[in-house]
Amino acid sequence: MIAAGMACITGCSRGLGRAMALEFARLGWKVAGCARTADSIATLAEELGDPHIFQAVDVTDDAAMHSFAKTVIEHLGAPNLLVNNAALMNGNAPLKDISPEEFAKILAVNLGGVHNSIRAFLPFMEDAERGVIANFSSYWGRSTAPDVAPYCATKWAIEGLTQALSQELPSGLAAVAFNPGIIDTGMLRSCFGEAAGGYHSAEEWARTAVPALASLGPIDNGNSVTAP
């Protein structure tokens, strides 16, 4: 793990994103983050204070992501680690019962949001000639289950997108598909119900997952990694 750096995290207002932001900051990293929920982002910004930067941004808004990236670069520089965590889960249902509108929304956030984030930050990381992009995958990016087909589709796509991106990056950079594992979050409870309580909390997870993320480097380019 590098001693200190800057981590930029999407979807950091709750769940894994918030837990990562708090843990990176605890370890001495500078943290930038965004999420759609303005109140939650404001609370996190107040909790962590300077020099960290948090803004209410919708990852599906390309112009907003570029504006956010400009602010981050001006104040904190290019990320050592860009964590594309923002994602939605479809309501549990057979694929034939998922509306086109819900399917499109899942695609827009889970894939389009990752694309927008990469477009916004990668040029600065290339200029800095270093940095790791960790695109959050899932066990459902490497396996499947009924009633979550749209989510599975996006996470399988993240695996392929990340490997293709890894082949485009210059020396010194890396793209990794990162499976966080199974954690007790609101997203998991939407699928597992009360059974989600049998898994680690996001805060417990972050104590081991954040060092694993921080340890990623150029040698990991193109890898599919699972959190310890």
- Output the pLDDT for position 200: 73
* pLDDT per residue as tens, the chain (228 positions): 456 899 999 999 999 999 999 999 999 999 999 999 999 999 999 999 999 999 999 999 999 999 999 999 999 999 999 999 999 999 999 999 999 999 999 999 999 999 999 999 999 999 999 999 999 999 999 999 999 999 999 999 999 999 999 999 999 999 999 999 988 656 655 666 666 566 678 999 999 999 999 999 999 999 999 999
Residue 1 lies in a domain: no
> What is the structure's pLDDT at 186?
66
- What are the residue numbers of the active site? 151
Task: Name the domain count of the chain.
Answer: 1
> Pairing relation of β-strands 131-136 and 81-84?
parallel
Is 56 part of a structural domain of the chain? yes
Residue 182: predicted pLDDT: 84
pLDDT at 183: 84
> What whole-number distance in Å separates Cα of residue 141 and Cα of residue 71?
32
pTM for this model (two decimals): 0.94
151, part of any domain = yes
* In-domain check, residue 219: yes
Amino acid symbol at 58:
D
Instruction: Kindly state whether residue 86 falls inside one of the protein's structural domains.
Output: yes
Range of the domain at 38: 6-226
Please write down the long-range contacts of 187-192, taking CB distance under 8 Å and 24 or more positions apart.
187/15, 187/87, 187/89, 190/89, 190/91, 190/92, 191/89, 191/92, 191/147, 191/148
User: What CATH number corresponds to the domain at position 216?
Assistant: 3.40.50.720
In a domain, 139, yes or no: yes
Output the pLDDT for position 156: 98
* Residue 193 resides in a domain: yes
Q: What is the pLDDT of residue 23?
A: 98
pLDDT at 82: 98
- Is residue 134 in some structural domain? yes
